[in-house]
Structure 1
């Protein structure tokens, strides 16, 4: 079983170095950020688990880019969040991308998989 996973991982294309060249995530319907989704990130910042300076006006905007490898059947095989010095929020954003993509992608088939970029924007008042 482990050998099979290692073989599959070896077949996956490497994460591109220049994320600006990645096509945007091909969502059918753009995801909507809810107050509950933003509240998690606000809680992480308030608890001191993220090193973000407090904005003068108290309005936080945190962007997390996530690279997602999608196979030919539309399944996300791997997500890689861009580091923002807050691992819990990075992983949270990667999970959101996976959830937002489920049954919501307009893809061109690619047997080996294609990397896309999604940007999650958390926006709240602290």
Structure 2
């Protein structure tokens, strides 16, 4: 799980701040390729966003759903009957580079993070230039027997 979070943090171009201990001077902000886009607020309603377009058709191997199935079976997620959809807001820079991924809450944080990692993998070098940095919507549907 920490590998996914690390990959997401690196791909999302995040800024991290470490709080100082009492009596210490605040350390400088640690920036990992920070950009203005990374600070853009996440849209609350995804329905008004344009659909994310890929260079090549994205396909999801059935094996990717096994993790989600196991999370549902272990009751770490709200009830799902052999399928679970995760809607995602994706911030894409003008050159087609992925900047941020934000899953909508579905009552299953592990699957939300997993879906973000899957989307990161699918989108890498697979997004069209968009002309301006903006948010898009997409979703992943996990299905199992």
TM-score range, shorter chain: 0.7 to 0.9
Query: Which of structures 1 and 2 has the larger relative contact order (alpha carbons within 8 angstroms, sep 6+)?
Result: 1
Q: Give the alignment's TM-score, normalised by structure 1.
A: 0.81
Q: Give the number of the structure whose residues are more often strand, by fraction.
A: 1
Q: Give the alignment's TM-score, normalised by structure 2.
A: 0.72
Does residue 1:36 correspond to 2:63, yes or no? yes
Q: Gapped runs of 5+ residues in structure 1?
A: none
Ranges of 4+ aligned residues in structure 1 off by more than 6 Å: none
Distance (whole Å) between structure 2 residues aligned to residue 29 and residue 61 of structure 1: 24
Deviations 1:32-67 (A, max 9, x none): 1212101110111112211215x4xxxx11110010
Give secondary structure in 2 for the equivalent of 1:23: coil
Does structure 1 retain, via aligned residues, the 8 Å contact 2:93–2:99?
Answer: yes
Does residue 1:124 correspond to 2:130, yes or no? no
Q: Deviation of residue 119 (structure 1)? A: 0.5
CA RMSD, aligned part only?
2.2
Distance (whole Å) between structure 1 residues aligned to residue 124 and residue 59 of structure 2: 14
Aligned counterpart, 1:2: 29
Larger radius of gyration: 2
Q: Gapped runs of 5+ residues in structure 2?
A: 1-27
Does structure 2 retain, via aligned residues, the 8 Å contact 1:67–1:117?
Answer: yes
